[in-house]
Amino acid sequence: MGSGVTYLDYQSTTPCDPAVVEAMARWWTEDFANPASRLHRPGLTAAAVVQQSRAAIAGSLGFAPEELIFCSGASEANNLAIKGVAEAELQRGGTRRRLVCLATEHRAVLDPLRYLAGHGFELICLPPQVDGLIDLQRLEQALNPQTLLVSVMAANNEIGVLQPLAAIAELCRRRQVLFHCDGAQAVGHIPLQARELGIDLLSLSGHKLYGPKGIGALAIAPGIELAPQQHGGSQERGLRAGTLPVPLIVGLARAVELAEADREKRGQRLAQLRDALWERCQALGGIQRNGAAAPCLPHNLNISIEGVEGNALHQGLRRSLAVSSGSACAAGEPSHVLQALGRSRLEAAASVRFSLGRPSTSTEVERAGDVLEETLKTLRRA
């Protein structure tokens, strides 16, 4: 980055790939028509590229084009999925009121679920195992005839662990329970044929995979009813009103295409860099890894450091490194994910998430190790 700071916070957001910016360019200024304006050629041109993009994104996930709804990002997609399922159940006079999730979910999942819990629904928030993975036996016990929805993310945004999606989907299928998955950290980073896995609702976001901010999508399996959360037009099958942002949609499709093209090689390279960084951390002593080493995102490393105070640690690191102590949405609070794994508030505060990205190099990883070592020497001496 231009500031001289080494950026290792790619799970927070990624830079927009230059090829994505190029793909979007003409749709800002030349072919700028509203895709809902079907009475003239410019509108039809815009509608055609939206449909083309929809088909490409949906196909990469194993969904049909008409099963993909564009949103502003994964947070909106999560809200549409969770609240949409719950309100549709109320509208048709259904009696299922139980919602199940993992305590380590992103707040974009936890907050809508808690909202519903304040409006007559029952929320079961399952504790993870110490490695961050779901306890399938606990999940099975939480499923009963009143269970409407299970929401478990594919890849954790803080510790990177990959949940057993096919096994979760199978438990849900047996009880005729809907399975929603927040795939924001997974799409473009791991193989994810969502329909084959049995996922009913999948959320994704462009800016987590080198696409533009402000665009995401919700994939919806056939036969699932959702109540719209945004009213004011018939766009997106009546589920999400508002003029479609054609440039952002084109950018999302291009970003997904590029991410899938280099996913395997990128993952192998970043895993090697991540493992080298972990070896360096281990050599410093008093450092524990948070979450399972496998299965895990190849570009994630989350550590807790003994004997240092969290604020001092991050003040020391931020002069040279852009890293985080948890989710970008946590507003400085110690990570609820790490506390769910059994870390104390102080231990969670003295934790660092390194997340590597497409531009990351071995030189940057070496520098991160040097900065961490010098910071810990200073703090531990004090």
Residues with a catalytic annotation lie at: 329
SS3 at position 133: coil
Decide: 204 and 62 in contact? Cβ < 8 Å: no
Q: Parallel, antiparallel, or unpaired: how do β-strands 6-7 and 98-102 relate?
A: unpaired
Pull the structure tokens for residue 198.
């049995």
Give the separation between CA 34 and CA 38, rounded to whole angstroms: 9
Decide: 101 and 85 in contact? Cβ < 8 Å: no
Q: What share of the chain is helix, strand, coil (3-state, %, to 5)?
A: 45, 15, 40
Q: In the chain, which ranges are continuous DSSP H helix?
A: 18-29, 41-61, 74-91, 107-117, 136-142, 165-174, 194-197, 246-284, 310-318, 336-340, 345-349, 362-381
SS3 at position 317: helix
